[in-house]
Amino acid sequence: MREKFCPKCGKRTEKFYENLCAECFLSSFSISKLLPEKIVVRRCKSCEKFFLKNFFGSKEEVIENFLKKFLEKHVDSISYRIFENHIELNLKKKFYDLEKSEEKTIQLIEKRILCKACSMKSSGYFQAILQVRAPSSLLEEIKEDVEKQIEDLSKYDKLAFISKFQELKNGFDIFIGSRNCANQIARNLKLKYKAKMKVSKKFAGLIKGKKVYRDTILISLKS
């Protein structure tokens, strides 16, 4: 049988991968070069959340989501460790019956900012008013319930914040940054407390030529 040799390195080989031996084929490209040399994460000086691309949350969460996007497109597996100012990664990708493994260190740069949501919160921005009218014995419980729901929803909705709280004799009004958040909380309160719910909309102006409305959601419980 005629012996076969790799045209690049000259070594004898039994199997070719795109006309190269396994070693030359794997060394002909780098998957780690597809990742940046440095990543800039922004940290809000008010809410302390981290922001990277379209992701926000803890430092670990935003980096993990960023790497998941890379994993979907380019590699089969990623393992990594986050240090104070860098990330150490191990990347693996299968080609035919071969596997290429590479290591990479990415510089991690942190910048302090005031995020858009916190800026809007400090300016008193809101999309909805949640009005709660209930017996005094339930008001503190409902308030804590609303605050807990907003805390949970803020992991997914940047505008899930309270910009203003007004205490009244028979209840309270909460001004909420996100209309979707306010409506979801109202529906939850309606089911949990068997309350009545009424929604009204008020024209608030134009943004980029589109009409903007604010919701007023009334949740009322019998005394």
What pLDDT, in 10s, does the model give residues 28-84? 888 888 888 999 999 999 989 999 888 888 888 998 888 887 777 778 888 889 888
Task: Determine, yes or no, domain membership for 130.
Answer: yes
Distances (CA, A) of 76 to 71, 81, 129, 185, 197: 6, 17, 47, 40, 49
pLDDT bucket at 223, cuts 50 / 70 / 90:
low
The radius of gyration of the chain from alpha carbons, rounded to an integer in Å, stands at 27
Task: Determine, yes or no, domain membership for 3.
Answer: no
Q: Are both 85 and 153 inside the same structural domain?
A: no
Task: Determine, yes or no, domain membership for 59.
Answer: yes
What is the mean predicted confidence (pLDDT) over 81-90? 89
Q: Report d(CA 93, CA 102) in Å as an integer.
A: 9
Contact 177, 159 (CB under 8 A): yes
Q: Report d(CA 91, CA 136) in Å as an integer.
A: 58
Q: Are both 92 and 182 inside the same structural domain?
A: no
Q: Are both 130 and 208 inside the same structural domain?
A: yes
Q: Are strands 77-82 and 55-57 parallel, antiparallel or unpaired?
A: unpaired
- Among residues 60, 94, 113, the one where a domain terminates is 113
Q: Are both 102 and 121 inside the same structural domain?
A: no
Nearest to 39 by CA among 82, 92, 90: 82
The residues pairing with 10 across neighbouring beta strands, listed in sequence order, are: none
pLDDT tens digits, 178-195: 999 999 999 999 999 999
CA angle 69, 73, 78 (to 5 degrees): 65
**Predicted confidence (pLDDT) at residue 143 exceeds the cutoff of 90:** yes
pTM attached to this predicted model = 0.68
Q: What is the pLDDT, as a whole number, of residue 196?
A: 94
Q: Are both 108 and 143 inside the same structural domain?
A: no
Q: Are both 169 and 208 inside the same structural domain?
A: yes
- Among residues 93, 113, 133, the one where a domain terminates is 113
- Among residues 113, 133, 151, the one where a domain terminates is 113
pLDDT bucket at 217, cuts 50 / 70 / 90:
very high
Q: Report d(CA 73, CA 182) in Å as an integer.
A: 36
Distances (CA, A) of 12 to 1, 19, 28, 103, 218: 13, 13, 18, 28, 80
Task: Determine, yes or no, domain membership for 172.
Answer: yes
Q: Are both 127 and 163 inside the same structural domain?
A: yes
Q: Are both 57 and 130 inside the same structural domain?
A: no
> How many domains does one find in the chain?
2
Tokens 């900012």 found at? 113
Domain carrying residue 142: 116-220
Task: Determine, yes or no, domain membership for 214.
Answer: yes
